[in-house]
Structure 1
Amino acid sequence: RMAALGIIATPGDILATNGAQEAIILALQAVTKPGDIVVVESPSFPGILQALDVVGLRVIEVPTHPSEGLSLEGLELALEQWPVKACVVVPNHSNPMGATMSDLRKQQMVRMLEAAGVPLIEDDIYGDLYYGTHRPRPAKVFDRTGNVIYCNSFSKTISPGLRLGWMMPGKYLAEASQQKYFSNLGTASVPQLAVAHFLEQGGYDRYLRSARLRYREATDRMRAAVGRSFPEGTAVSRPQGGFVLWVQLPGTVSGTEVFRRAREENINVAPGLMFSTTDKYENCLRLNGANPWSERVEHAIARLGAIATAVAAES
């Protein structure tokens, strides 16, 4: 499967992990020490920010464009001004913005970090959930020196409860393997064998084809519902894969207040403050379209829009 993406790998290059979250933590532990500075996208997935906190690292947030992904100009500035020890990026269908970097920008990012001697930790967990005709290539494709630590998982495709991921640590394999041994010795073999059989029989690809259609339909319908229900001036991301939408409310409307009132009605959204370490994105929300579209979901979006409209009127 890696070869089909343009990445040459042997079994010895791959380390099985308990989901992508562990892979990212192992990658950080392999290339940093507590107190080091790490660059992340902004807004950034809370799980990545939590991983950085667990390892005791400091964060530099670099802005992310809704369609182009991580700002390379911002990354260059961070590398010039700070002693950066690693960079964590989700280049394909990032969470929460859904941005996908072009091949050119991925290649430029890989070369830039390689020249600076800074490891790139790539989280490609949403790469298989593309909406178009071709899967976007990982940044790892452009790695020529082993400086990219590739992380992935079946949690967002087969099942969240499976907790089976993997990583290709490149030239940091020995360090990552040692950290894995210190952490939990190894990943359970029975789930690995079950998934291997599923992959060999072709079931995974058949499943992915139907899953991509469902996710695209759900997010398209959710975007349309937000357009009908939310206050005028609301902006919504247009992802090319995955199943999350980033919603920017108009003006000074508090996404945190919308989240609080929605939760009282058992409507679950993620407030924008979760996606930064510096209290950014107060007027934003992330919506999750992983559930099949239904009247219940449609009603929840309409009610969420009414809550946002009420908060906007008050502010």
Structure 2
Amino acid sequence: MGKEFLYTEIANGIASQIKNGILKAGDKLPSVRMLCHEHRISMNTAKRVFLELESQSLIESKPQSGYFVSPFFSIKLPLPDVSRPSLIANNDEPDELISKVYENMGKKGLTIFSISIPSGDLLPQAKLKKEIVNATRELKEGGTEYEELQGNLKLRRMIALRSLPWGGNFNENDLVTTNGGMNALSFCLMALGKPGDTIAIESPCYPGILQLANGLGLKVLELPTHPTTGIEIEALKKMIPEINICLLIPNYNSPLGSCMPDENKKEVVKLLAENKIPLIEDDVYGDLYFGPSRPKCCKSFDKEGNVLYCSSISKTLAPGYRVGWIAPGKYKDKILKLKLLHSTSSISLVNEAVANFLKTGKYEKHLQQLRRTLQSNYQNYVQTIAESFPEGTKTGRPQGGLSLWVEFDKKIDTRILYDLAIKQNISIAPGRMFTLQDQFENCMRLCIGLPWSEVTQTKLRQIGSLAKMI
């Protein structure tokens, strides 16, 4: 029996005991040494067993004490409802609300649950500064020259290398760098659409996508979306004759946190290709998985170059660096023309620094720690919500990403809750921001990318107390 199979088999056995109630919350597990003795395995294999169980939120380690069954496993608030938007294209943009929420970005003294990025305290700022300094030494003219149109070659090679585990199988010539993820999506929509075309998206959907689509004169068709598995494919099939473009965030969608199963991704790619409808895939959250492995992407199943894959480091490493990329498939020439017209070049110095950060392995080490922190945060948020929020509150169950979707009783309007919370120096993202229709007024998105502390917990409890007042 191979070592890979052995540690998985042992972990699955313990997981089964936890899920079946044989091992209960708070029960202590055998020590690493005991596990070695019982199963005749090495210390490294035993440690991998515990890491696997931790990644599934089934156990937690306590310094100097050992491993225990996690109390969070038994906390399961009801799931939010499947969204049921009108299947008529709508462009009623909540512009004023979006502006009100996003103007808080960067403000001091606020606890910002509303912006879906990791806190600077969770990012390797000192290491990134060193890479910037090194890049000025390595680049010709210290990084003051334009780089080639397609983007930094070293960066594209590292991105291509990182695509192999999930089936992207890119090479450097498949990729075009951009100034962040939204710049990538903007290029794709400009390349594919014209005013009056209809774009299909998830509902709820990231506000920036709604604003971008509206700004380009596109009609937005919101699709029914399940809080854990993403869009309902039958609804997509029904609306195929009306659709010109489809844009999805299949992995840990913001704001729901949903992740489409592989079979759904494969079916969507096939369906859209057969109907000659291009798919723009936004995968900025894919590296933030809580489980043992990264999920596949729609691009993994793309055989015809019909999927334009977009991603960035804005949600994982450095939001302010504005480093993104596209694997545009058969639309590469159109994307390059748009990049030449709109930006000419990406930022040489920053792209070189990020490329080196990826090449040295520092990025993967950072991601490992960030994923553990976000998973722990999610558990802490749900426990606090269960204790402090109004009865009947529902929450998503993301398996990765930065978003936690919260659904209250219909009587609670989160726009009112926002106004109450901001007076307490707390910013939330009301659900109405994430749609062009009159829905989600009783919902909100919370970012789980803040460092967990007594202050964070207190602010969450305050949100619950304010919600009870409405």
Q: TM-score band, normalised by the shorter chain?
A: over 0.9
Q: Does 1:42 align with 2:198?
A: no
Q: Does 1:235 align with 2:400?
A: no
Look up the match of 2:384: 225
3-state secondary structure, aligned to 1:61 = strand
1:10 deviation in Å?
A: 2.1
1:78 deviation in Å?
A: 1.5
1:4 deviation in Å?
A: 2.7
3-state secondary structure, aligned to 1:156 = coil
Look up the match of 2:230: 69
3-state secondary structure, aligned to 1:293 = coil
1:274 deviation in Å?
A: 0.2
Residues 25 and 55 of structure 1 are in contact (CA less than 8 Å); yes or no, is this contact kept in structure 2? no
1:190 deviation in Å?
A: 1.1
Look up the match of 2:126: none
User: How many angstroms apart in 2 are the aligned matches of 1:219 and 1:3?
Assistant: 28
- 1:278-297 to 2 correspondence within 5 Å? 278-297=437-456
Q: Does 1:257 align with 2:416?
A: yes
- How many aligned residue pairs are there? 309
Q: Does 1:175 align with 2:330?
A: no
1:276 counterpart (406, 414, 435): 435
Residues 13 and 169 of structure 1 are in contact (CA less than 8 Å); yes or no, is this contact kept in structure 2? yes
Q: Does 1:11 align with 2:156?
A: no
User: How many angstroms apart in 1 are the aligned matches of 2:331 and 2:451?
Assistant: 40
3-state secondary structure, aligned to 2:246 = strand
Q: Cα deviation per residue 1:83-110 (whole Å; 9 max; x = unaligned)?
A: x111000000000000001110000010
3-state secondary structure, aligned to 2:426 = coil
Look up the match of 1:248: 407
1:225 deviation in Å?
A: 0.8
- 1:95-244 to 2 correspondence within 5 Å? 95-244=254-403
Quick one: which amino acid aligns to residue 281 of structure 2?
A: E
Q: Greater shift after overlay, 124-133 or 54-63? A: 54-63
User: How many angstroms apart in 1 are the aligned matches of 2:185 and 2:460?
Assistant: 33
TM-score (ref. length: structure 1): 0.96
Look up the match of 1:26: 187
Look up the match of 1:59: 220
User: How many angstroms apart in 2 are the aligned matches of 1:279 and 1:161?
Assistant: 33
User: How many angstroms apart in 2 are the aligned matches of 1:18 and 1:224?
Assistant: 38
User: How many angstroms apart in 1 are the aligned matches of 2:345 and 2:210?
Assistant: 24
3-state secondary structure, aligned to 1:16 = strand
Max radius of gyration: which structure? 2
Q: Cα deviation per residue 1:266-301 (whole Å; 9 max; x = unaligned)?
A: 101100000001121001011111011011110101
Residues 216 and 243 of structure 1 are in contact (CA less than 8 Å); yes or no, is this contact kept in structure 2? no
Quick one: which amino acid aligns to residue 20 of structure 1?
A: G
Quick one: which amino acid aligns to residue 211 of structure 1?
A: L
3-state secondary structure, aligned to 1:152 = strand
User: How many angstroms apart in 1 are the aligned matches of 2:171 and 2:252?
Assistant: 27
Q: Cα deviation per residue 1:189-224 (whole Å; 9 max; x = unaligned)?
A: 111111111111000000000000001111110111
User: How many angstroms apart in 2 are the aligned matches of 1:2 and 1:290?
Assistant: 24
User: How many angstroms apart in 1 are the aligned matches of 2:374 and 2:175?
Assistant: 29
Structure 1 runs (4+) greater than 4 angstroms displaced? none
1:182 deviation in Å?
A: 1.4
Quick one: which amino acid aligns to residue 228 of structure 2?
A: S
1:169 deviation in Å?
A: 0.6
User: How many angstroms apart in 1 are the aligned matches of 2:317 and 2:412?
Assistant: 37
Q: Cα deviation per residue 1:100-129 (whole Å; 9 max; x = unaligned)?
A: 011100000100111111000000000000
Q: Determine which structure has greater relative contact order: mean sequence separation of CA pairs < 8 Å that are 6+ residues apart, divided by chain length.
A: 2
Give the aligned CA root-mean-square deviation in angstroms: 0.9
1:54 deviation in Å?
A: 2.2
User: How many angstroms apart in 2 are the aligned matches of 1:264 and 1:154?
Assistant: 32
Residues 23 and 165 of structure 1 are in contact (CA less than 8 Å); yes or no, is this contact kept in structure 2? yes
Q: Cα deviation per residue 1:117-169 (whole Å; 9 max; x = unaligned)?
A: 10000000000000000100111000000000000000111111111000101
Look up the match of 2:247: 88
Residues 120 and 148 of structure 1 are in contact (CA less than 8 Å); yes or no, is this contact kept in structure 2? yes
Residues 92 and 138 of structure 1 are in contact (CA less than 8 Å); yes or no, is this contact kept in structure 2? yes
User: How many angstroms apart in 2 are the aligned matches of 1:25 and 1:73?
Assistant: 28
3-state secondary structure, aligned to 2:438 = coil
Residues 96 and 246 of structure 1 are in contact (CA less than 8 Å); yes or no, is this contact kept in structure 2? yes
Q: Which runs of 5+ in 1 are unaligned?
A: none
Quick one: which amino acid aligns to residue 318 of structure 2?
A: S
Quick one: which amino acid aligns to residue 253 of structure 2?
A: S
User: How many angstroms apart in 2 are the aligned matches of 1:53 and 1:252?
Assistant: 30
User: How many angstroms apart in 2 are the aligned matches of 1:212 and 1:9?
Assistant: 24
3-state secondary structure, aligned to 2:365 = helix
